[in-house]
Amino acid sequence: MSGESQCHYRPVVLGTSVIFDGGDLSVQLSYDRRSPSLKMRPSPPPDVAKRETTMTASSISEYIDRYDGDVRDRLLSVYELIRSAVPDEAEESISWRMPTFKLGTEPLFFFTGTKRHIGFYPTPEAIAHFSTELAAYGTTEHLIQLRHDAPLPTELIREIIAWRLQQLPSDKV
């Protein structure tokens, strides 16, 4: 078949999206129950695509260092709020590709950086307990979305952390 070029797409799964990367052009299939969509967009630069899809951090500091500017500063603030409150024996790790704090086998907190917000995962009970204070934030049963276009609510985060730690059995704290 002379004169015809073949384009081989490499699928990459990112959350609820699949990106078929064909070099100069990508096709992104996104699924959202409210509005499934098909988008064609230029392929991201190779370093961004690699960072988003193939690299998993081995430590929280490595995870945070992968971000730039304000997002990095916000992630570092959340990390410092958690680290300063949890017991010294709390372990730091990466679990489910997110920075995680555990006490023994008990997960305490997860957090993550996204394009539009910091995801903070205390526990469903903490989110329910602070539902009034969290009314201005996007939440799910497990997640609090701390949008980048709003100030980081450090006092509220500190209160949630303290409340969550109070819920632990006394022999763990």
Domain coordinates in residue numbering, the chain: 10-53, 60-166
Q: What is the pLDDT of residue 173?
A: 56
CA 148/CA 49 separation, integer angstroms: 22
Q: Is 60 exceeded by the pLDDT of residue 35?
A: no
Query: What is the model's pTM?
Result: 0.68
Contact 112, 118 (CB under 8 A): yes
Question: To which residue do tokens 């500063």 refer?
Answer: 73
CB atoms within 10 A of CB 131: 10
Contact by Cβ (8 Å): 172, 106: yes
pLDDT band with cut points at 50, 70 and 90 for residue 170:
confident
- The mean pLDDT value of the chain amounts to 79
Dihedral class, residue 124 (left if φ above 0, else alpha if ψ from -120 to 50, else beta): alpha
pLDDT at 165: 96
Q: What are phi and psi of 34, to 5 degrees?
A: -75, -35
Please provide the CATH number assigned to the domain covering 60-166: 3.90.1150.200
pLDDT band at 29 (very low <50, low <70, confident <90, very high): low
Tens digit of pLDDT for each residue in 77-121?
Answer: 999 999 999 999 999 999 988 999 999 988 999 999 998 999 999
End-to-end CA distance of the chain: 70
